[in-house]
Amino acid sequence: MRILAVIQARMNSTRLPQKIMTPLCGKPMLWHIVNRVNRSGLIHQVVIATSLKPEDDIVESFANENNFFIWRGSQDNVLERFYDCATFYKADILVRLTADNALVDAGIIDAGITYFQKHTYDYVYYREGLPIGMACEIFTYDALKRAYENASDAECLEHVTPYLYKNPHLFHVERVGCIGENLGFLRWTMDTESDKELITQIYNCIYTRKNNFTYRDILEEYKIHPGWTQLNSSVEQVAVTYRGESTL
């Protein structure tokens, strides 16, 4: 089974434009994300999926300069972009990631893939309850194809997976929670200036000592920097609104 990780990336983020190129310890955030995902022992290939918009030419140039795999597709119909990418790279299983999440952990991804492969799921959201930005979505190419062929809701087209997890009568889905941990109050994604400040401080404190740091290493560092919790605690997470597969 060929496992493909697809990292969705674009330059024109609404709340924090060009954030994917934020410098962290001398390298763009997107560079760190790709390299952190590449530490997975189960993923066969990592691909950056960006849009065909001229402002995302820089993403393609960046990928080419760093020998990263790249796919370009629709700006607004991200489901189509994702499906075309998965088809081109001949994926059997997909791991969906976004370029907001500079602290993505290959260990969590591999644990999720292992869990997914032990069952007969179409879609798994793995690990609910971790800090925002650490969970990953895993699903089959067949499920993605069915979503692509049937979804029409605007949020499904933009966010790729709502058609899967909002139609449990059509797909075998599960949200895997964190036993004994409830860290969802921590925000480890980059969407605002305060998020950017936190992520930058985390990298400055840990990356120079341990460039393959895990989420456990970050939690240990919180004991030394309790103020980190407050840096972006007031940021409201934008929710996906699903209106039904027959509504545009």
Identify whether 215 is part of a domain. Answer: no
pLDDT at 155: 92
Measured between alpha carbons, how far is residue 135 from residues 8, 23, 65, 148 in Å? 15, 23, 29, 23
Report the pLDDT value the prediction gives residue 15, as an integer from 0 to 100.
87
CA atoms within 13 A on the CB side of 43: 28
Q: What are 124's strand-pairing partners?
A: 138, 174
Q: Strands 93-98, 136-140: parallel, antiparallel or unpaired by DSSP?
A: antiparallel
172 in a domain, yes or no?
A: yes
Look at residue 105 and tell me if it is in a domain: yes
Is residue 219 assigned to a domain? Answer: no
pLDDT in tens, 177-206: 987 779 999 999 999 999 999 999 999 999
Q: For residue 138, is it within any domain?
A: yes
Instruction: Give the per-residue pLDDT at 246.
Output: 41
pTM over 0.85: yes
Count the domains in the chain: 1
What local confidence, expressed as pLDDT, does residue 149 receive? Answer: 98
Residues of the chain with pLDDT under 70: 238-248
What is the CB neighbour count within 10 angstroms for residue 71?
18
- Within a domain: 242: no
Query: Domain of 29: which CATH number?
Result: 3.90.550.10
Tokens describing residue 41: 């022992």
Please report the pLDDT score of residue 209 as a whole number. Answer: 95
Residue with tokens 């190419």: 141
Asked whether the CA dihedral 227, 238, 83, 163 is positive or negative, the reply is positive
Domain boundaries, position 51: 3-193
